[in-house]
Amino acid sequence: MSQITNRISQTGQSTLNAITAIGYASILIWDSILLLFMGKRVNQPVRFGLVIDEIINAGVKAVPVVALMSATIGVMLSIQGIHTLSIFGAETQVTFGLAISIPREFAPLITGILVAGRSGSQLTSRVGSMQLNGEIDALTVMGIAPARYVVAPSLIGLLVSLPVLVVIGNLAAFSAAGLYIHATLGIGPDAYWADILDVVTIDDFLHGIMKSFIFAILLAMIAISLGMRVYGGAEVLGKSTTKSVVTCIAAIIGADTIFALLL
């Protein structure tokens, strides 16, 4: 009986901790949005230079890995699509499947996961180190809102970078898939792109880009809030960084699933 009671107590505490974490992350994001639009009125403007640094770190430096992995996904989808459709003798129709699945699902999902592993861990590690070194408290003592200096630039950087990376991922995936299909089925680039453009619509691309904005907000909320709540030492920082990556990826997959069910 005592074991059951302990398990119920642990479950309740875990649920309470999760609700507290969500609330704390929401407050951080809300404060950063307020400072973004009203920072100058309260002498807390968001620095443009910090935003540019975040765009470079989260976006520009992530272009090679996003392009490479998206190209790989494009080739893999082509391989599996051709193999599956060859059962029905319709392997030449593989382009129509790619035109729907890449911009709506695979490009935003793969990009979000890659940025979560790269930028999410980096954010948690950096903010956690600032927390351990007392830099967050020092900002507060100096009258500088931590949301202005830490949260807002990272949020804006992700909101700008992630949609652009999704567009790059789309181009890389379609281009690599076209090369493989040309080498395997002999479909020329002109015919390949004509088939793609006949099927894909602006709504398909906007669907993936809309997802990327949601993914960016989730990444910022989770990564920064976990970094802000680091107390203790280096071991806690390492655990928080690992937790950040796992939680960000799980949140992105969960949000993508909800999008698929609703839209």
Q: What's the burial of 40, exposed, middle or buried (CB within 10 Å: 0-12/13-18/19+)?
A: exposed
Taking 90 as the threshold, does the pLDDT of residue 146 lie above it? no
Please report the pLDDT score of residue 16 as a whole number.
67
Please report the pLDDT score of residue 175 as a whole number.
94
Please report the pLDDT score of residue 40 as a whole number.
66
Rounded Cα–Cα distance for residues 94 and 97 (Å) = 5
CB 148 within 8 Å of CB 190? no
Taking 60 as the threshold, does the pLDDT of residue 130 lie above it? yes
pLDDT digits (tens, 9 = 90+) for 175-223: 999 999 999 988 888 989 998 988 888 998 999 999 999 999 889 888 8
CB 109 within 8 Å of CB 253? yes
Q: What's the burial of 136, exposed, middle or buried (CB within 10 Å: 0-12/13-18/19+)?
A: buried
Taking 80 as the threshold, does the pLDDT of residue 7 lie above it? no
Please report the pLDDT score of residue 58 as a whole number.
86
Counting DSSP H helices and E strands in the chain, the numbers are: 12, 0
In the structure, what pLDDT confidence band is assigned to residue 15 with cuts at 50, 70 and 90?
Answer: low
Taking 70 as the threshold, does the pLDDT of residue 11 lie above it? no
Domain ranges, ordered by start, for the chain: 45-262
Please report the pLDDT score of residue 50 as a whole number.
81
In the structure, what pLDDT confidence band is assigned to residue 103 with cuts at 50, 70 and 90?
Answer: very high
Comparing C-alpha atoms, which of 196, 262, 255 is closest to residue 221?
Answer: 255
Residue 37 has a CB neighbour count (10 Å cut-off) of 9
Residue-averaged pLDDT of the chain? 84
Rounded Cα–Cα distance for residues 148 and 31 (Å) = 8
